[in-house]
Chain A
Amino acid sequence: MATVTDPPAMAGAGIAAPPAALTGLPPYTATLLRWSFAIGLIPPVALVVALAARSILLLTFVHVLSGGTWTGFDLFMGLVMSRVLRSLEIPQRVEVAKRLTPTTFFILPSLAATAITAGIYLAQAEGKFDLGSPWIIAAGVVVVLLTVQGFGIFMPNSVRIFIELAEHQPDTARIARLNMRNIRLAGLQALFQVAIIVIMAHLAVY
């Protein structure tokens, strides 16, 4: 139980402490993180099964499902959640961030890594992984951009939200700002993913 009550020093000084609901990591964080991990394990394990079975059909299924889910998730975050969050007050946005950050912490990177890895294996297995092909180069450039965003912005922001939530006096405005940044970035990622789907469609047909 990580809920923090008003510190005596603050109460004595007559300074209003943040509401109890906004301080410390809530007890459900660990549960949501475990749930995220359990779901996040499914895509890479399915990829191992597809490769072990040497099944192109299963490999295609894993690639399309993980990539489609990743894209759909980012579109939802960018187009729907960003609008919903904008309509909420800062404390309500923080409450969303408290639940959204641990729930997506493993699922999104796992979907992204599985979709990309499965895509490369599929291209290799079908003899389309030609590094001289402009379509493969274009796919590679988009993948690098998505990876840099994921490692450079998404993941650090999520960790910063965890750290901020665990502080005795969390900066709620910063939490809301970091969460909002991640959601806007998800919208940008969705655009890149739509671009990569155009490339994939070309590779699949020609």
Chain B
Amino acid sequence: MEVNVGALVAVVVLAAAFLAIFGSLYRGAVRAFARGELDAAGVRILRRAVIGQLAIYIVLALTAFFTIPPAPPS
């Protein structure tokens, strides 16, 4: 099985960028929950959202293992 390393790295970089941005918003939500301003359901829904997005990234990462061999430049 030939792995498309470039594709795999791209997915990992995008997933990391997503986690960094989402993580900062999530930390803000947890702090708001600790202050009693936020519903517990809000924190739960954010956890589901991040798990779902990561699942989609994992499926996309799988594509790197099934890449069609490149044709020579036309």
Contact = CB atoms under 8 A, between A and B. Distances in A.
A167 B56 contact: no
B29 to A, nearest CB: 5
B49 interface: yes
B56 to A, nearest CB: 5
Contacts of B62: 44, 48
A124 B63 CA distance: 14
Contacts of B74: 126-128
A128 B52 CA distance: 33
A47 B63 contact: yes
A124 B67 contact: yes
B56 A109 contact: yes
B5 interface: no
B7 interface: yes
Interface residues of A, number: 51
Q: Is the interface of B mostly helix, strand, loop or mixed?
A: helix
* Most chain A CB neighbours (cut-off 10 Å) among B14, B37, B52, B67: B52
Contacts, number: 132
B52 A40 contact: yes
Interface in A9-32: 24-25, 29-30
Range of interface residues on B (Cβ < 8 Å): 35 or more
Interface of A: 2, 4, 24-25, 29-30, 33, 36-37, 40-41, 44-45, 47-48, 51-52, 54, 56, 59, 102, 105-106, 109-110, 113-114, 117, 120-121, 124-130, 147, 151-152, 155-156, 159-160, 162-163, 165-169
Interface of B: 7, 14, 17-18, 21-22, 25-26, 28-29, 32, 36-39, 41-43, 45-46, 48-49, 52-53, 55-57, 59-60, 62-63, 66-74
10 contacts: A30-B45, A37-B52, A51-B67, A105-B49, A106-B56, A121-B63, A159-B46, A162-B46, A166-B38, A167-B37
